Chains A and B, each alone.
Chain A
């Protein structure tokens, strides 16, 4: 999608002809900190998943397995909402090293 199209190659009226094409756009480099998953503390409550503004919590068979770092902007809502196991968080935020 990076190649800019000429006007005759575009769909009528500026339509984006397919839904959900934003998945191809990477916002991961906006991050200043990244979520780290600690599965041993995860109770699979899915709060991280449901509150993620960027749909960046990866689920497999309905269970959290990690993060889509192409989209994750590092807001930290997941870590904040995480109840963890016995008050020990299953997600912590770690500063990005550039």
Chain B
């Protein structure tokens, strides 16, 4: 894996001057992913959403690699087409370089509206890495709940109200759904652990075939915390076991990090505005349910990893 000096020597392919919020985690994802791709040519796409909007306001683009955006739910389908063109033109000899393909999408564009296109692309086996920057809500439209939004989170469409204290449902486990596709590489990473993410992007690209990485991306606006904590809150999510770092390579589960001492989930939740209402004593049961869910999922994951 490339160390930071080597990454630094590569130079940025995702530039400054984009219009993301101060402390945005999504742009950290894009930047680190392209650094990890290294000197090998990569063609990218991004679903409509924060990352795409802030990075391509005409005539300014932060992408210093070939980039296409077409719509919201079809990042995987769009890159399928680019990759199909590559397969065809390479076979015909018109394109000679060895090119890799990378698609980005937020959790709305991936867990929800883009799930069908993603599933289709993975099943077809395109040579592509799909990176879901998972900030757990529709941030670009103003913080609406998605199927990635965790239970209890107050969003503008699952608001904390007099009767309902935020999102009722637990979040969907997309990483497991992707693993069920039986593709060569699936992983979870986090903003705040550059080395884990870099390693996984490198591995996914080197393996060839379809690959999927879900990277938990703290969003200072949607989660409600001071901007300097973006990386810190990512790491804390891992230390609570809310977001385990693991990978599924050719069907083999591997845990990449076990917290020395698992932190209680409220340590993480109560640093964020979206969960603040759950501090009230009457919501203790909800916190307990959330903790129980995390512990159960962790246990299941560990079973898979020890097989």
Q: How far is the CB of B51 from chain A (nearest CB, A)?
A: 11
Could you say which interface size class chain B belongs to? 35 or more
Q: How far is the CB of B165 from chain A (nearest CB, A)?
A: 30
Interchain Cβ contacts within 8 Å, total number: 126
Q: Is the CB of B16 within 8 A of A50?
A: no
Chain A interface helix/strand/loop/mixed: loop
Interface flags, A26-63, vs B, CB<8A=1, else 0:
11001100000000000001110111111110010010
Q: Is the CB of A16 within 8 A of B228?
A: no
A90 contacts B by Cβ under 8 Å: no
Interface flags, B214-247, vs A, CB<8A=1, else 0:
0000001000001111111000000000000000
Q: Is the CB of A55 within 8 A of B12?
A: yes
Q: Which of B52-60, B124-132, B295-303 contacts A (4 or more CB under 8 A)?
A: B52-60
Set of chain A residues within 8 Å of B61, measured between Cβ atoms: 16, 18-22
Set of chain A residues within 8 Å of B20, measured between Cβ atoms: 53-54
B17 contacts A by Cβ under 8 Å: yes
Q: Is the CB of B16 within 8 A of A68?
A: yes
A25 contacts B by Cβ under 8 Å: yes
Q: Which of B1-22 contact A (CB under 8 A)?
A: 4-5, 7-9, 12-22
Given A20-B15, A26-B17, A54-B27, are A74 and B22 neighbors across the interface (CB < 8 Å)? yes
Instruction: Give Cα A26–Cα B230 distance, bound, in whole angstroms.
Output: 22
Given A20-B61, A55-B31, A76-B227, are A25 and B17 neighbors across the interface (CB < 8 Å)? yes
Q: How far is the CB of A68 from chain B (nearest CB, A)?
A: 6
A24 contacts B by Cβ under 8 Å: yes
A97 contacts B by Cβ under 8 Å: no
Q: How far is the CB of A31 from chain B (nearest CB, A)?
A: 8
Set of chain A residues within 8 Å of B85, measured between Cβ atoms: none
Set of chain A residues within 8 Å of B28, measured between Cβ atoms: 51-53
A23 contacts B by Cβ under 8 Å: yes
Report B's interface with A, CB cutoff 8 A: 4-5, 7-9, 12-25, 27-28, 31-32, 35, 55-67, 192, 194, 220, 226-232
Known: A19-B67, A77-B231. 5 other contacts (CB 8 A): A19-B61, A25-B60, A27-B18, A50-B4, A53-B28
